[in-house]
Chain A
């Protein structure tokens, strides 16, 4: 080919790649955005190689959120919370915020009830995942889908 450069990249291909990169830059404002893959990595970081079963957790979060800057969230885990059977930790993750972690709560049998409420930020319409770590080392998981109209995290002032 006549327009092939020394390192084998054609001019046309280079221009196409540059245009593609420009487009990607305008669509994705924040490069550090957490993808579902980074959420998976964050979850792996917590659970290690242990299997994660579905169930036992109830996530209470609005299905449709007007303002992603303060979204009420309640996570409750089914557990008798006795000395021999309790929830050791509750971790919450999100897919599309700049960081996949939301919070990690550490509790014990003295909690009496494994229920935690807080308010958190959502950058986009996405899935929220909660993982419960039991005292016997087992992990349980539940997820909830949230539609967000006003995004948090990414706005400029």
Chain B
């Protein structure tokens, strides 16, 4: 079971640039590794990450096998309004995980 950790400031001043950090547990199997019999492990990665702020997309990331296991992603946004910042990860084998945080802006 995948588990996501997110770090969003609880409060911010309007117009401030806030930093958002996310970490999700995932093997990110590249598909290039082989076992001792030479059989490759099938690829199993997160391919897509998306962040929305009150429903509007503010950040999107395409991930490739070169991203390390347990993808850690840091980015920033401007605190515009109080509301919800939602996160979504999608990947191989129907992997789907969501998380969200609330922020109050004054």
Q: Which residues of A contact B (CB under 8 A)?
A: 30, 32, 69-71, 74, 94, 97-99, 101-108, 110-113, 115-122, 152-157
Contact = CB atoms under 8 A, between A and B. Distances in A.
A121 B59 contact: no
Contacts, number: 110
Interface stretch (B2-10, B67-75, B93-101): B67-75
B75 to A, nearest CB: 5
A116 B17 contact: no
Interface in B11-56: 17-18, 30, 32-36, 53, 56
Interface of B: 17-18, 30, 32-36, 53, 56, 58-69, 71-78, 80
A94 B72 contact: no
B35 A156 contact: yes
A134 B72 CA distance: 25
A70 B75 contact: no
B30 A153 contact: yes
A156 B66 contact: no
A155 B61 contact: no
A115 B66 contact: no
A120 B77 contact: no
Given A98-B32, A101-B64, A121-B68, A110 B78 contact: yes
Contacts of A32: 32
Nearest to B80: A110
B36 A157 contact: yes
A106 B61 contact: yes
Contact of A117 (B34, B59, B64, B72): B72
B51 to A, nearest CB: 10
Given A117-B72, A155-B33, A156-B35, A112 B17 contact: yes
A120 B36 contact: no
Contact of A153 (B33, B62, B80): B33
B15 to A, nearest CB: 9
B66 A107 contact: no
A74 B17 CA distance: 17
Given A105-B61, A119-B67, A120-B68, A111 B33 contact: no
B74 A117 contact: yes
A94 B71 CA distance: 18
B32 A154 contact: yes
A102 B68 CA distance: 10
Contacts of B56: 110
Nearest to B78: A112
